[in-house]
């Protein structure tokens, strides 16, 4: 099925289609979903409820506050088709040696068991696709599509369209020593749409390192709409790295929703490099006391790319802490967006929250819209936020030149140092080194 879109102008300069067309477009995206397999028939009720909600919604426009800096009109110009299952045979360039036998691969949103390997996963830990979880599906149903924020338009579209999911369940007091690599590959088929889904449950006292990686084989136009749900129970720890390096012609709109119980610890490093239009919603809900959240983000874009990050940290109990640093590097005519929200209600006394947005513009035509946001009703807290937007410091360039480094190399070194502050947080050495190489390549 292909999608036809009216080109009747919308009022003002907010897009190319009317609100009616945006609703019809979303419904037609829903109609591209694939049927469920017999093994995942239990998802039918969840999908049907989400599908009913989708038909009440529309593709957002810049009239809406949450989307006023990000125009989705280019998305509406594409006639998408459902992605087919094509299993490429040569993906070694994307594999990580540290996760050689702790890897799940999904191609065009569909599980590829022949490319996956879980030999190093400890006994008792569940890792695989949802269809293979068997008797655990009833337990997983208590977590799947249960995070707050599930009514957001692209999240509910994913829920209505999901046919499978990557599943990780770490039992109580179990530590997974090797990193788990979730590799989502798009083959670059022209104008396809896929809806990857991840469900991660870290039970009380458990620990794991997760790499969520979105890559493309070809530079085609396609739409990836992933959702990841992470449940961290009491005294559990999750280190999560999310890398988006898709086609420069692709659309990527993703959601990460995290729920943290008492004494849990969550760290997230998000790096966004690809996509003509990319957006990541990162939502963390601290549901217990003495929770700790560490967020580090980097968006590095050029040309006409748009890179958007929206984050939420919501406290509900006392003694919670969080620290967030998000960096954007925009070159040429690129447009970076950051909106970070921290909610501290009256019940969340003795909260300690810090948020910083740092942005580097490398071109007179580059643009950044940044909005750190604190909403505090508690009266015994320590909270701070800030934002900076700047170009390269001429004094710093001059200092490096005075040490024998030419001006061009000095600028590249400063840009690299700005990005490396985030990349250096990645706990997997091979992935960190590859991203360092990509950053250097972009500056070549």
The H or E element that residue 52 is part of is helix 44-54
The least confident of 172-176, 212-216, 440-444 is 440-444
Rg of the Cα atoms in the chain: 21
List the one residue out of 310, 380, 309 whose CA is nearest residue 344: 380
Q: What's the Cα-to-Cα distance from 158 to each of 101, 105, 129, 224, 349, rounded to whole Å?
A: 28, 19, 16, 10, 36
Q: What pLDDT digit, counting tens, does each position of 112-127 carry?
A: 999 999 999 999 999 9
List the one residue out of 315, 306, 212 whose CA is nearest residue 256: 212
User: Is residue 373 a contact partner of residue 339, using CB atoms and an 8 Å limit?
Assistant: yes
Give 344's contacts (C-beta < 8 A, 6+ positions apart).
315, 351, 353, 374, 375, 376, 377, 378, 381, 383
Query: Quick check: helix, strand or coil at residue 155?
Result: helix
The Cα angle at residue 62 between residues 61 and 67, in degrees rounded to 5: 90
pLDDT exceeding 90 applies to what percent of the chain? 82
Higher pLDDT, 376 or 7: 376
Q: What pLDDT digit, counting tens, does each position of 152-186 carry?
A: 999 999 999 999 999 999 999 999 999 999 999 99
Q: What are phi and psi of 245, to 5 degrees?
A: -135, 60
Query: Quick check: helix, strand or coil at residue 47?
Result: helix
Question: How far is the C-alpha of 172 from the C-alpha of 149, rounded, in Å?
Answer: 27
List the one residue out of 186, 210, 240, 187 whose CA is nearest residue 127: 210
Question: How far is the C-alpha of 147 from the C-alpha of 257, rounded, in Å?
Answer: 7
The least confident of 82-91, 164-173, 277-286 is 82-91
Question: How far is the C-alpha of 214 from the C-alpha of 256, rounded, in Å?
Answer: 14
pLDDT of residue 444: 61
Could you tell me the pTM of the whole model? Answer: 0.93
pLDDT of residue 84: 77
Q: What are phi and psi of 360, to 5 degrees?
A: -125, 120
Q: What are phi and psi of 8, to 5 degrees?
A: -65, 125
Query: Quick check: helix, strand or coil at residue 200?
Result: strand
Question: How far is the C-alpha of 207 from the C-alpha of 118, rounded, in Å?
Answer: 17
């Amino acid at each position: 099925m292909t999608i036809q879109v009216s080109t009747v102008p919308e009022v003002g300069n907010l897009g190319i289609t009317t609100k009616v067309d945006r609703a019809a477009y979303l419904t037609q995206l829903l109609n591209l979903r694939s049927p469920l397999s017999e093994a995942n028939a239990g998802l039918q009720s969840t999908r049907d409820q989400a599908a009913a909600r989708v038909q009440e919604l529309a593709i957002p426009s810049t009239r809406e506050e949450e989307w006023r800096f990000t125009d989705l009109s280019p998305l509406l110009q594409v006639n998408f088709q459902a992605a087919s299952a094509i299993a490429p045979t040569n993906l070694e360039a994307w594999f990580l040696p540290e996760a050689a036998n702790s890897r799940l691969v999904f191609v065009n949103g569909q599980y590829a068991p022949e490319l996956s390997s879980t030999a190093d996963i400890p006994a008792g830990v569940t890792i695989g696709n949802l269809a293979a979880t068997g008797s655990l599906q009833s337990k997983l149903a208590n977590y799947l599509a249960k995070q707050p924020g599930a009514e957001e338009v692209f999240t509910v579209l994913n829920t209505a369209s999901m046919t499978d999911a990557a599943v990780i369940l770490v039992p109580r007091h179990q530590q997974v020593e090797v990193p788990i690599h979730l590799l989502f590959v798009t083959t670059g088929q022209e104008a396809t749409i896929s809806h990857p889904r991840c469900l991660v449950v870290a039970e009380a006292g458990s620990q794991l390192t997760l790499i969520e990686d979105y890559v493309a084989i070809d530079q085609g136009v396609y739409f990836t709409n992933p959702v990841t749900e992470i449940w961290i129970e009491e005294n559990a720890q999750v280190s999560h790295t999310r890398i988006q390096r898709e086609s420069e012609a692709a659309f990527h709109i993703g959601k990460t929703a995290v729920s943290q119980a008492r004494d849990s610890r969550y760290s997230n490093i998000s790096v966004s490099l690809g996509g003509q239009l990319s957006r990541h919603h990162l939502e963390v809900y601290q549901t217990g006391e003495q929770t700790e959240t560490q967020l580090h983000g980097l968006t590095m874009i050029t040309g006409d790319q748009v890179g958007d990050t929206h984050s939420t940290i919501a406290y509900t109990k006392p003694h919670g802490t969080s620290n967030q640093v998000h960096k954007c590097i925009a070159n040429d005519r690129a447009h970076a967006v950051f909106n970070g929200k921290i909610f501290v209600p009256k019940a969340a006394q003795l909260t300690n929250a810090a948020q910083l947005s740092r942005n580097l513009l490398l071109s007179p035509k580059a643009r950044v819209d940044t909005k750190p946001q604190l909403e505090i009703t508690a009266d015994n807290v320590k909270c701070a936020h800030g934002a900076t937007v700047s170009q390269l410091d001429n004094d710093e360039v001059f200092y490096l030149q005075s040490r024998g480094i030419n001006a061009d190399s000095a600028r590249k070194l400063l840009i690299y140092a700005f990005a490396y502050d985030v990349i250096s947080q990645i706990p997997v050495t091979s992935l960190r080194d590859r991203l360092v190489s990509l950053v250097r390549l972009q500056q070549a």
